């Protein structure tokens, strides 16, 4: 790619994608957009990619990224740059980059953090993996969507960073909700409890934002689905497994989120995890004990064996 970026193809117009596109349009870029739901100004990915110097994907996972980019690839010119801003797994990203390289197309992974509020005002945190020189070429574009742009290393490192960040967020969500439920059961005022935590060392994004904005309000509408959080924690667990790093807390965190995903509605917001935790029942003491067999059951002559003759 030579010269300034003028035309951008953007694939994926969900909640985050729509807000990011709006910022790019306000900045004067020509946007060619496509979405599976038909919300874009182009009918096909290839049409959106035609004439674009940069193609951005903002879709649910690595599989969807691959499908979208390969569908758009015939429309991309040599020298174009693909930027995956979704939360994908590093391995899939590197495999896709190898395919693109054969066509003269380069790639960066640049997942985001900050949810819809920061997507709306263009202040997202961006974690960019790939060549530093390539990042500098697209920095003027990325700066219209994010205020903090981190170069995390080689291609795939942005996705690894995002997965680990979301794992911590997922673990903190469980801990924050459990603390809230325990405090309420004890008789503590929940708002006072959260105020104290936020003035102390236990605060995290759940106590600072999710509980006040989503739980106390009763909205449970952060804009980030529980299924996506579960997917991201799964990516982090996969990275740990591939690197042979024992991470028992990560494994248990993933189990809780997967159990919640199976229990709640498919489109549940991730803050609805609280409903799942509320519904958990403590096992009774009796359920954890093995019942000793009766003397009759323990006897080899008991039951149906009584009366059987010893074989001759």
Q: What is the pLDDT of residues 156-189, one digit of tens each?
A: 999 999 999 999 999 999 999 999 999 999 999 9
State whether residue 230 is helix, strand or coil. Answer: helix
> Which strand (E) or helix (H) includes residue 126?
strand 124-129
Do residues 169 and 140 both lie within one domain?
no
So what's the pLDDT on residue 2? 63
Do residues 125 and 187 both lie within one domain?
no
pLDDT of 296 over the 50 cut? no
Query: Does residue 287 form part of some domain?
Result: no
Query: Does residue 300 form part of some domain?
Result: no
Does residue 162 carry a catalytic annotation? yes
279-290: average pLDDT: 65
Residues above pLDDT 90, as percent of the chain? 86
Do residues 177 and 85 both lie within one domain?
no
Do residues 82 and 210 both lie within one domain?
no
pLDDT of 264 over the 50 cut? yes
Nearest to 228 by CA among 262, 270, 172, 260: 270
Domain boundary, last residue among 125, 154, 183: 154
Burial zone of 178 (CB within 10 Å; 0-12 exposed, 13-18 middle, 19+ buried): middle
Query: Does residue 82 form part of some domain?
Result: yes
Q: What angle do CA 6, 9, 11 make, to 5 degrees?
A: 155
For residues 105 and 81, give the distance between their C-alpha atoms in angstroms, rounded to a whole number: 6
| Choice among 103, 116, 118, 162 that is catalytic | 162
DSSP state of 269: B
Domain boundary, last residue among 154, 183, 209: 154
CATH at 79: 3.40.50.720
**40-49, 109-118, 293-302: which range is least confident on average?**
293-302
CATH at 268: 1.10.1040.10
Q: What is the pLDDT of residues 13-24, one digit of tens each?
A: 999 999 999 999
Domain boundary, last residue among 104, 126, 154: 154
Query: Does residue 305 form part of some domain?
Result: no
Q: Which domain holds residue 64?
A: 7-154
β 124-129/146-153 pair status:
parallel
Do residues 133 and 187 both lie within one domain?
no
β 146-153/112-113 pair status:
unpaired
């Amino acid at each position: 790619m030579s010269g300034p970026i003028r035309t951008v193809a953007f694939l994926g117009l969900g909640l985050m994608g729509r807000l990011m596109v709006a910022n790019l349009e306000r900045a004067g870029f020509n946007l060619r957009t496509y979405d599976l739901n038909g919300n874009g100004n182009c009918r096909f990915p290839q049409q959106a990619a035609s004439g674009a110097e940069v193609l951005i994907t903002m879709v649910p996972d690595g599989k969807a990224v691959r499908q979208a980019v390969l569908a758009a690839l015939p429309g991309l010119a040599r020298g174009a740059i693909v930027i995956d801003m979704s939360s994908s797994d590093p391995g899939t990203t590197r495999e896709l980059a190898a395919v693109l390289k054969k066509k003269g197309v380069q790639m960066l992974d640049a997942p985001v953090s900050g949810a819809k509020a920061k997507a709306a005002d263009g202040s997202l945190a961006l974690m960019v993996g790939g060549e530093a020189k390539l990042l500098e070429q697209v920095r003027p574009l990325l700066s219209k969507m994010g205020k903090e742009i981190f170069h995390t290393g080689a291609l795939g490192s942005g996705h690894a960073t995002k997965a680990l960040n979301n794992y911590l967020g997922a673990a903190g969500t469980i801990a924050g909700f459990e603390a809230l439920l325990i405090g309420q059961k004890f008789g503590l005022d929940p708002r006072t409890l959260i105020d104290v935590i936020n003035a102390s060392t236990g605060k995290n994004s759940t106590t600072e934002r999710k509980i006040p904005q989503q739980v106390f309000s009763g909205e449970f509408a952060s804009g980030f689905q529980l299924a996506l959080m579960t997917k991201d924690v799964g990516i982090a667990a996969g990275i740990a497994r591939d690197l042979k790093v024992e991470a028992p807390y990560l494994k248990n965190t993933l189990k809780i989120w997967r159990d919640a995903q199976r229990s709640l509605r498919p489109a549940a917001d991730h803050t609805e995890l609280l409903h799942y935790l509320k519904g958990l029942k403590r096992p009774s003491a009796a359920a954890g004990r093995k019942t000793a067999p009766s003397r009759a059951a323990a006897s080899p002559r008991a039951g149906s064996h009584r009366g059987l003759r010893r074989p001759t």
